[in-house]
A and B are shown apart, each in its own frame.
Chain A
Amino acid sequence: MTARISLELGSGGKTMRDFIAGTILPAFRNRELAGLLDASHLPGGIAFTTDSYVVDPIVFPGGDIGKLAVNGTVNDLVVSGAVPRFLSLGLILEEGLEAADLDRILRSIRKAADAAGVRIVTGDTKVVRQGQGDRIYINTSGIGAVVAEPNPRRLRPGDRLILTGTLGEHSLAILTARGDFGIEAPVRSDCAPLTFLLPFWKAGALWMRDITRGGLATILTELAEQAPHPLVIEEERIPLSKAVRAAADLLGIDPLYLACEGRAILVVPEKKAASILARIRRHPLGRRAAIIGQVEGKTGRPGELLLRTASGGLRLLEPLTSELLPRIC
């Protein structure tokens, strides 16, 4: 355990999870936290979640920190099995932030909330000295009505994995907005509300997660750890935009580990997969949805996430341990 907090403890992935489990949780042991879920389901059918947003830059192609702050929290509720209803909004503003920027972000928040069908019902605003906060930080907490209690232990061989769209566009949009690596790509963040997936809880969806930090591979390895059977996904079926493919090749990053902000992976029973896929594809946010794999009965061992490669090989996927690094050499 290091004596001071280092950046990697917040970057998502196993290092962060270990830090939370080893340092933060022990201070508050209780049943609701024990599951380490993104959203807690409380007595009375209430789902509750919270998230903080520190993205840099605060504006990027396809969105801004405000849109992110609404959709991120809304999506945590949706995939936990709850209809999002209300959000709180905590703003920490840095002295010197331009009023026009704040205005733009507030309008974004309003627009995103309307699109997601939620209302901002309480909030707080603080201002910190210049240099003590990076323009604006946002925290949103969300409350929703529970409609499903997904349980990874109920997954069965043959259950299908549906990915709702292409991977990694949010990450790449941030990279291009930061001017990192001088990269210029025709890409917009995929930041969007996943509320269009809510009807599928009733239609038979068994489990859902939004694909955020750590990417698809990390999300699915977490599922594989809890499911009674291994998971197999097919490299060739994973939808990728040309821009993400190119950036991945150029920078040596693997799209399976790139964060999105408006994509989800669903597990659905085999018999219902085709019809659910068709319905998802009819929605503008689901046009490139695809069945990318399944809960596996014959190959691999429980706890494993396997990838069938484009060349016909089979390989084991690991979760991201910390901040993604571009490989050059």
Chain B
Amino acid sequence: MCLGIPSKVIEVDPALKTGRIDYLGTKIKTNFALLEDVKVGDWVIVHAGFAISRLDESDALETLDLLREVADKA
């Protein structure tokens, strides 16, 4: 139900609101109609060919730091 992949926007057609994302070097067609103002370079969560949410970089890094702290204590 919730399979969503964090990926980087590499192409956008603003009129059609479609484009492509790159995930670890693999590219796939994606629909951006559910987000506003998607730009090349944005990070998004993709589900079933649609970008459903933006990935916030600072939040991601914060969580990563937290996880690294936990790992260091283990």
- Contact flag (A, B; Cβ within 8 A): yes
Seen from chain A, the residues whose Cβ lies within 8 Å of a Cβ on chain B are: 181-186, 242-243, 245-247, 249-250, 252, 327-329
Q: In the assembled complex, how far is the CB of residue B49 from the closest CB belonging to chain A, in whole angstroms?
A: 8
Contact between chains at A249 and B23 (CB < 8 Å): yes
Contacts of B2 in A (CB 8 A): 329
Please tell me if B55 contacts chain A, counting CB pairs below 8 Å: no
Q: In the assembled complex, how far is the CB of residue B61 from the closest CB belonging to chain A, in whole angstroms?
A: 21
Contact between chains at A242 and B48 (CB < 8 Å): no
Contacts of A182 in B (CB 8 A): 20, 28-29, 49
By secondary structure, the B interface counts as strand
Contact between chains at A329 and B23 (CB < 8 Å): no
A181 to B20, CA, bound (A): 12
Please tell me if B68 contacts chain A, counting CB pairs below 8 Å: no
Q: In the assembled complex, how far is the CB of residue A61 from the closest CB belonging to chain B, in whole angstroms?
A: 13
A interface footprint on B1-32 (CB within 8 Å = 1, 0 otherwise): 11101010000000000001001111111000
Contact between chains at B3 and A242 (CB < 8 Å): no
Residue of A nearest to B48 (CB): A328
Contacts of B39 in A (CB 8 A): none
Contact between chains at B3 and A183 (CB < 8 Å): no
Residue of A nearest to B23 (CB): A246
Q: In the assembled complex, how far is the CB of residue A304 from the closest CB belonging to chain B, in whole angstroms?
A: 28
Contacts of A185 in B (CB 8 A): 25-27
* Count of interface residues, chain B, beta-carbon cutoff 8 Å: 17
Seen from chain B, the residues whose Cβ lies within 8 Å of a Cβ on chain A are: 1-3, 5, 7, 20, 23-29, 46-49
Q: In the assembled complex, how far is the CB of residue B30 from the closest CB belonging to chain A, in whole angstroms?
A: 8
Contact between chains at A183 and B48 (CB < 8 Å): no
Q: In the assembled complex, how far is the CB of residue A97 from the closest CB belonging to chain B, in whole angstroms?
A: 30
Q: In the assembled complex, how far is the CB of residue A196 from the closest CB belonging to chain B, in whole angstroms?
A: 29
Contacts of A242 in B (CB 8 A): 24-25
Q: Which 10 residue pairs across A and B have the least CB separation, nearest first?
A: A182-B29, A246-B24, A246-B26, A185-B26, A184-B27, A328-B48, A183-B28, A246-B23, A252-B3, A329-B1
A183 to B28, CA, bound (A): 4
A329 to B47, CA, bound (A): 8
Contacts of B26 in A (CB 8 A): 183-186, 243, 246-247, 250
Q: In the assembled complex, how far is the CB of residue A133 from the closest CB belonging to chain B, in whole angstroms?
A: 31
A185 to B21, CA, bound (A): 12
Contacts of B1 in A (CB 8 A): 329
A184 to B29, CA, bound (A): 9
Q: In the assembled complex, how far is the CB of residue A315 from the closest CB belonging to chain B, in whole angstroms?
A: 19
Residue of B nearest to A328 (CB): B48
Contact of B5 among A186, A243, A250, A327 (CB under 8 A): A250
A243 to B29, CA, bound (A): 16
A285 to B9, CA, bound (A): 35
Residue of A nearest to B22 (CB): A246
Contacts of A327 in B (CB 8 A): 3
Q: In the assembled complex, how far is the CB of residue B46 from the closest CB belonging to chain A, in whole angstroms?
A: 8
